[in-house]
Structure 1
Amino acid sequence: MDQPQYKLSYPQLGSYDIPIRHFVMHGLGEAYVAPPPMTKRTIEIGSQNSPDFVCAPFKCMMGCYIEALEKGANVLVQTGGTCRLGYYGELHEQILKDLGYQFKMLNITIARYHNLLGLYKGMKEIAPKTSLLKVVRALPATAKMVIQIDKTEDYMRQNMGFEKNDGDFERAHKEYLSRLRQAKGLKDVNRAYKWVMETMKQIPIKKPEHPLRVGVIGEYFTIMDPYSNHEIEAKIAKLGAEVHRWMNLSNSVVVCPDRSTIKKLKHYLTYDIRKFPSSIWHKIQVKQAGRYTKFDMGSSAISTIALAEEYAKRGYDGLIHVKSFGCTPEMDAVPVLHNISADYKIPILYLNYDTQTSDTGIETRLEAFYDMIEMRKEVTES
């Protein structure tokens, strides 16, 4: 009996659909259905079919799932999270099946798959054509895509506000992503990255010696998805600021086990994912022993606090705190951010998002914040 043709899909999250698509097609040997770019319709249908009390990321993901199913996807991927998002996969699945959609859910959570071998077995259920060799071969290009996308976008955020010709960086970035979509392996990935960095470094800019520097901190999903946060990074950059954001997949997900633990491939495959060291957990441990908080409040809250203090110590001119409405860990972080702001005399703009947030309101607040930190910098330097 022929196996059914599986078509996998994952919710939109910035530019990361490209490496996900590469891994699905080249590592799992299955078709990939990219949900359409998020629009007002995505948010509307996601909100209509979600409980009122859940956070905006849940509703965004729900809208993406529905649009992917409408395009023909029959396997939905959910990666969970370290807050209540870790339970959202089951809730998404139940709601969508109650709506009458026929599909399989690949819920990749650490609770289900403690190691890479367990994760591979889970993938095998919806990708019977894959093999361990295929997966291993696809991983380097996939990981490299994630890392290089983050490096490219870091460079953009820090320089696009000073370009002489409006839109040069965005055009180069768009072409870069187009080349990545056509990449078949690691050589193509590296070639695309080399091209985009050479191109961006040739873009004429007029950058002051000491530009305004703004750090963006906050909740994991909203901070990384431009549509969800109303493209605040591009907007504040184009006002004339150098924008920095640590939170991305490279820093929070793409981690490697300690060299001493990789003595044999078998050991690597059965190594508990939860023991992987990464810089974010190091920051948590350091910060938990600090004066601002003693306990992990869940999700990205501790990294938000650690990064806020780090940016403040480095003399940044302002911080923007991004979170979705109802995000409890980030709500808990806000009083601590008030203390950091007072101690280091650094202004913080708090942006709270829900599915009703408007572009106009965000732009007005960003412009006022920029004007304030610009005047403050002028007074300080005079």
Structure 2
Amino acid sequence: MGKVILIMNNQISAVLQRSLLLLALCVFPVSSLLAQSSGASLPTLNVYTYSSFTSEWGPGPQLKEAFESHCNCRVNYISSDDGVSLLNRLRLEGANTRADLVLGLDDALIDEARQLRLVQPHGLALETLALKPVLNWQDQDFLPFDYGYFAFIYDAQRTPEPVVSMAALLASDARVIYQDPRTSTPGQGLLIWIKAVYGDQAAQAWRQMRPRTVTVTKGWSEAYTLFLEGEADYVLSYTTSPAYHLLVEEESRYQAALFSEGHPMQIEVAAISRYSQQADLARNFLQFLLSEEAQQIIPVTNWMLPVREGVELPEAFDQLIQPQAVGFSPQQIRQQRQTWIREWRSAVSQ
């Protein structure tokens, strides 16, 4: 009886398989046409970037829609956790990378990326791009798309009298969250900040920071979420972070502490991958990033400052602190970055 049932089941299975095959053959031409009509044959621009850029609240979706509306192409984002993670990924992939465009490194990483031969010249005339003079941008491989300053953010309701210097922060009993400089551009920004302020005494400054530190996170999002949950008095972020709370939440309690020693500037950049299969399309996307349309989108989605002159910003940006810039050249950072990381690791692990 069991064998009969098995044979019958096999016969039914064979008939069913033949029916499904005939159905697939009938449907295939239609599905193929649908795929073509939906844009499957359009050229695809693979953009390597960081995860918050591609999130639903980040600038990625709006920029993708705007660019695709006139490029006759598809934009495909491939994201990493952060700019430092992005560089590490590109280094590991080498010539096997899928990247056509690299978006989200910053000026502290560009010299290392160039030394690794990961990018190619953008071929655009800088004098025609209306870049802000404060950037003093002369690079022929990378183009800026936004910028800002690193800062410690605090909740004015919990911390009515914020610290006014790095020295005051290190001498306080405040609880601090910052990001790992090996994986995060803000974390790397703090590495640069401490070195710029303390020089040869940086290791001692890190030892002072250690008892203040609640945790060191892999990236910005985790750190900022913990801060908003009340896990720390200060979190390493940007001078522009309060603009988000003002515009989106109508909340003014979150502020950036203005430090007398100055703040490191971060310039985020984009470049054409050395191994790009769509170099012309990537170049068009670079030009689009610096257009008035894109530069209006970026500040209120990526919460950074526009690099183009004449971009009108919401009033919330007028209330931000205006720090003095401190730091090092990209060449100095490339030469010293690993030494500074080892110094940090040694100091905070003792």
User: What range is the shorter-chain TM-score in?
Assistant: 0.3 to 0.5
> Greater helix share, 1 or 2?
1
- TM-score, scaled relative to structure 2: 0.33
- TM-score, scaled relative to structure 1: 0.30
Rg bigger for which structure? 2
Greater RCO (CA < 8 Å, at least 6 residues apart): 2
> Greater strand share, 1 or 2?
2
